[in-house]
Every structure is written in C-alpha cells, then in structure tokens.
Amino acid sequence: MKRRNFISAAGLAGLGLTFSSFNSDTERKKTKNIRGTFSTTDNRVSIYTNAQVKPARIFHITDTHLSLDDERGVKYKQFSKRMAGAYKSNTHFQTEEKYSTKESFENTLQLAKEQDIDFLALTGDIFSFPSEAAVDWVFQKLNDTGIPFAYVAGNHDWHYEGMKGSRQQLRKTWTEKHLKPMYQNNNPLYAAYDFNGVRYICIDNSTYEILPEQLDFFKAQAKSDTPIVLLMHIPLFMPGRSMGFGCANPNWGAKSDKNFKLERREQWRKGGHTKTTINFYEKVFNAPNLLTVLAGHTHHQSLDIKNGIPQIVSGHNATGYYSDIQIDSLP
C-alpha cells in the first residue's frame, strides 16, 4: 500500500504536473489556513493540518554515524580514520543498553516495520564518512523494509577528513561517487517526495549554506497549496541556541569556526552567511503551507517555534533515537 501512494518529484514532472501559484484571494486564504496545530511528548510528535490528508506515521531518523567499511575503503583510511573510531558504543536513549550504531539502525528499522510505519525521513550523518560498504548496507536494509524513504545528507556523509577541496566540491564528488543510491534518482541538493497528501521537501544544507537554486526550489514549494514538511540536516538559527543551529545563524563564519582543524576541512566563510542563505531562512519561516522543519546535527532533541512553525531536532540514532511522527488532518 505504501509504494502506491508514493510519488517523487521526478515522477510529478514526468506526468506534466507543476506546482500552482496563487490564482486568487480564495486560493491564498486556503493556503494560509493549511497549518493546524501540533503536540510533542518525549520522542512522539503529532502534527495536524487543515488540509485534507491521509493519516501517516513517519519515523524521523538522523545521525546514526555508521562507520562500517570493507576493502573498498582501505585506500581512504587516512581520511576516514578519526570518524571510524567515533560512536563505537552507544547507550540506548530509552533502555540504557549498549548498542553499536549498526544495531541501533537495524533495531529502528525493525521497529518501523513492526509498527507499520508509512514513511522514513533520514536527515543526514547516517554515515560517519562516505563508505561504499555502509551505503550498500543501508540502502539494502531500507529496501528490505519496503517503506518509502527520503534522504538528505549531513556534513559527515560526504566528508573524508583532510581531503583537498571546498565543502561544495567534496559534497558533489562523494555524493556522485558513493552516496548516489540513497537519492533514488532525485536531485541530491533539493527534492520533493509526495506521500498521503503531504510533500516532504529535502534541502541539503550540510555545508551550512543554501545555494540560489535551492532557494528558488523552496520558494516554488511555498507557493503550492500542498502541506509541506522540510527535511534538512543542520537546524535553522534560533536565538539562544548553540552554533549547532548554524544555518542562517548571524554569528556563523570563519571567526566562530572552532573545529575546522580537528575535522581537517575548509574553514567556514569569511564574513558569514550569504544573502541567499538569509533569504532562505526568511522564506522558510514565512511559508504558509509549512507544517514543520525536521533536522538533526546537534545530536540532542529540541523544539523551537518561530512564526508558529515548529523546528523539531531529533536526538542521534546512534543511541537508537527516532522521532515517531503522526501527521493527520484536523477533525
């Protein structure tokens, strides 16, 4: 039942369907009323919309930090060594048992299967570095569940530490070379996945920054009368939060980059964020059809609300954490 209800953006384009812009005041009013309400308790979230959607239950999974590897990764060892040693043993967020990241990911998928979850939203750092063995394993495991999924990269997924190149270049290279299957023929930088009347929008902000084509894509989605859920790795800036909330953070930039030497990567941009990234931030929190932002990166659960729009950050799946999200129409 799940595959039938699942249409990717590529599929929509193929059918000649495009996203509508406002034609009248009536339509504008309708769009403004899309957002309903939400509630959250522990790792459970309920999101209600005024639009007519079929109920769906999704698992939001982020930051598993898998580091399994095989002989194909030997030549990259000098670049994967540090992260391959990270997250070796993790305490489960509920049971406090010790698990490997591999077990945590498997257990989460098993639970999703047992509970008949409709959709999986993966928001990056599923891998600690772009290991072909890990990508093969995850892709197989996801397909074995039979549950549709959307994936967007985190800053570690494509990063071999110490390898020459800018963040953008390295992301492009390793997305194409190793991560490609995860995108299921969609654009890795921005894509839309339709499920049960809700559009899941993936925007790759794993460099902390937004590109002009990503901004244009989001603007078009925000004009649609379909309720949208935004999936990204790095949370958007919220006053009072740490630099983990670095996308559009006014303090982000070369001066606040503490880890570029440790992570052996290009330093953050001198002079801070581009106008495009700041503009994206404004568009997101003024999108009338946006139900929620789902992100990861900080490894800690958090909730912020801006202009009535919740930004929910999930804890890291290395500890077995997942957000169990129900999306439904208001009665």
> CB of 299: closest distance to Fe ion in angstroms?
6
- Interface segment toward Fe ion; rule CB under 5 A; list 61-69, 81-89, 264-272, 304-312: 61-69
> CB of 258: closest distance to Fe ion in angstroms?
16
> CB of 95: closest distance to Fe ion in angstroms?
22
- Between 221 and 298, CB nearer to Fe ion: 298
Do the beta carbons of residue 86 and residue 100 sit within 8 Å?
Answer: no
- Between 35 and 159, CB nearer to Fe ion: 159
| Strand-strand pairing, 228-231 and 290-295 | parallel
> Of 130-149, which residues contact Fe ion (CB under 5 A)?
none
- Interface segment toward Fe ion; rule CB under 5 A; list 55-63, 100-108, 224-232, 321-329: 55-63
Map residues 97-126 to x or -, x wherever contact with Fe ion holds by CB under 5 A.
----------------------------x-
- Interface segment toward Fe ion; rule CB under 5 A; list 41-49, 63-71, 272-280, 306-314: 63-71
- Comparing every residue's Cβ against Fe ion, the nearest one is 125
Please work out the total of residues on this chain that contact Fe ion, with binding judged by CB under 5 A. 2
- Between 124 and 148, CB nearer to Fe ion: 124
Question: Whole-angstrom Cα distance, residue 281 to residue 276?
Answer: 9
> CB of 315: closest distance to Fe ion in angstroms?
11
| Residue 157 binding Fe ion, by CB under 5 A | no
- Between 31 and 207, CB nearer to Fe ion: 207
> Of 226-255, which residues contact Fe ion (CB under 5 A)?
none
| Residue 63 binding Fe ion, by CB under 5 A | yes
Question: Whole-angstrom Cα distance, residue 259 to residue 265?
Answer: 9
Closest C-alpha to 57, from 224, 201, 198: 198
And the tokens for 58? Answer: 């999704």
- Between 155 and 175, CB nearer to Fe ion: 155
Residues that bind Fe ion (CB under 5 A): 63, 125
